[in-house]
């Protein structure tokens, strides 16, 4: 599984790379620090899964979910955010995000989702 990590925080990206790189059959193909970079790398690298933050320079993750899904509707999008509000979750899911997790305690759920997807 090819994964793109999109978050403006370098420490968060490094933590995510460390976590998902330990999963068998996973390769982190790229990292993005803003929404423009995320869309460009998505089109260039065509990952299977994107871990996407909501608040980033250049816009929000919510703004680009539709663009990503138009490019490739099969890309799995996991929103990982500190802005874990019901209205954000609803907006992200309605835009096409597949999962919505909080940075404050749900990093491990990303591992579960990836392992489940790989086993299919």
Residue 40 · residue 58 · CB < 8 Å: no
Residue 10 · residue 31 · CB < 8 Å: no
The pLDDT value given to residue 84: 86
The pLDDT value given to residue 118: 94
Going 94 to 104 to 55 to 52, the CA torsion angle's sign is: negative
Q: Domains of the chain (ranges plus CATH)?
A: 2-119 (3.40.50.2300)
The pLDDT value given to residue 105: 86
The pLDDT value given to residue 83: 87
The pLDDT value given to residue 33: 96
What pLDDT digit, counting tens, does each position of 50-84 carry?
Answer: 999 999 998 889 999 999 999 999 999 999 999 88
Residues of the chain whose pLDDT is less than 50?
A: none
| DSSP character string of 55-85 | EETTEEHHHHHHHHHHH-TT-EEEEEES---
What is the pTM for the complete model shown? 0.95
From residue 64, alpha-carbon distances to 26, 80, 89, 100, 108 in Å are 24, 14, 15, 15, 24
């Amino acid at each position: 599984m090819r994964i793109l990590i999109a978050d403006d925080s370098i420490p968060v990206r490094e933590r995510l790379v460390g976590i998902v790189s330990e999963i068998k059959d996973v390769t982190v193909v790229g990292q993005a620090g803003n929404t423009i970079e995320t869309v460009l790398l998505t089109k260039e690298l065509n990952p299977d899964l994107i871990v996407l933050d909501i608040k980033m320079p250049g816009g929000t993750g919510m703004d680009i979910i539709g663009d990503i899904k138009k490019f490739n509707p099969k890309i799995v999008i996991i929103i990982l955010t500190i802005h874990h509000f019901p209205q954000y979750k609803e907006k992200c899911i309605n835009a096409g995000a597949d999962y919505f997790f909080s940075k404050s305690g749900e990093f491990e759920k990303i591992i579960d989702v990836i392992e489940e997807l790989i086993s299919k």
